[in-house]
Amino acid sequence: MKLEDLRLAPTPEGWLQEAVNQMPLLLIDHANCEKKAASTALNLMYRYVEHPSLIIALSKLAREELRHFEQVVEIMGKRSIDYRQLSSSRYAGELRAAVRTHEPARLVDLLVMSAVIEARSCERFGRLCMVLDADLAEFYRSLLKSEARHFAGYLSFAMDISGSQTEIDERLAVFLALDTKAITRPDAEFRFHSGLP
């Protein structure tokens, strides 16, 4: 499945305008998101050692996410933006609440959920390219290919483990519905994956 086949709900214009207005906060939270993405890959590697091809792919993905983290922190340094802790957005937690608790369904769901999060990040990078300054737009454009690859990788492994296209389609529908709800609902705090400001 290709990213465009998901038909993700578009990021609301109000969020994009807030991203322009709160660019330092956007970068800080983006750095946090890259760190969390690396952590997710590492956690899956530790938990599911019985899937060698998965853990090798996750190792590569974690390194790439950490490289993105470093790049964001470098950009922040050039713009005199101090890196600091932020509270997490509700986005990932709301998606995670739908993960089934028995195996192998839990692993399938974690992979599908991760694919949807990567897809949302990719969609937001694309939209940000249209509204941010030229240097940031170029940086976000450079991330599009890797995020799309992460999406495809997570989804491919979910299919390998499930073996059922019907199950994958059903679980994708669940997480996509949660994604749409999360990004279109009003949010008290602006974050990379927040809803309407």
Please write the tens of the pLDDT for every residue from 90-99.
Answer: 999 999 999 9
- What pLDDT was estimated at residue 17? 96
Average pLDDT over residues 63-88: 96
| Tens-place pLDDT, residues 109-119 | 999 999 999 99
Average pLDDT over residues 51-63: 96
170 is a domain residue: yes
5 is a domain residue: no
174 is a domain residue: yes
The domain total for the chain is 1
Count the neighbouring beta carbons within 10 Å of the beta carbon of residue 132: 18
Look up the CATH number of the domain holding residue 42: 1.20.1260.10
- What pLDDT was estimated at residue 3? 78
| Tens-place pLDDT, residues 119-129 | 999 999 999 99
Percent of the chain exceeding pLDDT 90 equals 92
Question: Mind spelling out the 3-state secondary structure of the chain?
Answer: CCHHHHCCCCCCHHHHHHHHHCHHHHHHHHHHHHHHHHHHHHHHHHHCCCCHHHHHHHHHHHHHHHHHHHHHHHHHHHCCCCCCCCCCCCHHHHHHCCCCCCCCHHHHHHHHHHHHHHHHHHHHHHHHCCCCCHHHHHHHHHHHHHHHHHHHHHHHHHHHHHCCHHHHHHHHHHHHHHHHHHHHCECCCCCCCCCEC
85 is a domain residue: yes
Domain range for 48 is 12-184
| Tens-place pLDDT, residues 166-187 | 999 999 999 999 999 999 999 9
- What pLDDT was estimated at residue 1? 77
Dig out the tokens for 114 from the structure.
């991760």
